[in-house]
Amino acid sequence: MVEFIILGTSSMVPTKERNVQAFYLEHNGEGMLFDCGEGTQRQLNIAGVARGKVRKVFISHWHGDHVGGLISLIQTIGNSEYTGTLRIYGPQGSKERMFHLMNATLFENKVEIEVHELVPKKGEELFFLETDLYKVSCIRVDHSVPCIGYAWYEKDKTRIDMATCRKFGLKEGPLIGKLTHGQEVTINGTIIKPNDVLYKVAGKKIAIIPDTQTTADLIEIARFADVLICEATYSSDHEEKAREFKHMTGAQAAHVATTAEVKRLILTHFSQRYPTIQPTLDEARAIFPNTDAAFDLMKITL
Coil, helix or strand at residue 84: coil
Tell whether 145 and 247 lie within a shared domain: yes
Tell whether 111 and 224 lie within a shared domain: yes
- Domain of 64, CATH number, reads 3.60.15.10
Tell whether 18 and 167 lie within a shared domain: no
Strands 134-141 and 147-154: antiparallel
Which residues span the domain enclosing 164?
A: 158-199
Cross-strand pairs, 23: 6, 34
Could you say which of 65, 211, 217, 296 is catalytic? 65
Predicted confidence (pLDDT) per residue in 182-211, tens digit:
888 888 888 888 888 888 889 999 999 999
Tell whether 116 and 55 lie within a shared domain: yes
Per DSSP (E only), the strands in the chain are: 2-8, 22-27, 30-36, 54-58, 85-91, 112-118, 126-130, 134-141, 147-154, 157-160, 185-187, 190-192, 198-201, 205-209, 227-231, 265-268, 291-293, 298-301
Tell whether 82 and 228 lie within a shared domain: yes
Whether 196 is a known active-site residue: answer: no
Domain stops at, among 148, 167, 199: 199
User: Are residues 71 and 101 in contact, defined by beta-carbon separation less than 8 angstroms?
Assistant: yes
Can you give the pLDDT at residue 177?
Answer: 82
Tell whether 220 and 85 lie within a shared domain: yes
pTM for the full predicted model? 0.91
Tell whether 58 and 194 lie within a shared domain: no
Predicted confidence (pLDDT) per residue in 12-33, tens digit:
999 999 999 999 999 999 999 9
* Number of independent structural domains in the chain: 2
Tell whether 123 and 28 lie within a shared domain: yes
The pair phi, psi for residue 158, each rounded to 5°, is: -95, 130
Tell whether 292 and 185 lie within a shared domain: no
Tell whether 137 and 194 lie within a shared domain: no
Q: What is the DSSP letter of 249?
A: B
Tell whether 96 and 129 lie within a shared domain: yes
Domain stops at, among 168, 199, 230: 199
Residue ranges for the chain with pLDDT beneath 70: none
Tell whether 107 and 240 lie within a shared domain: yes
User: Within a 10 A sphere around the Cβ of 190, how many other Cβ atoms?
Assistant: 10
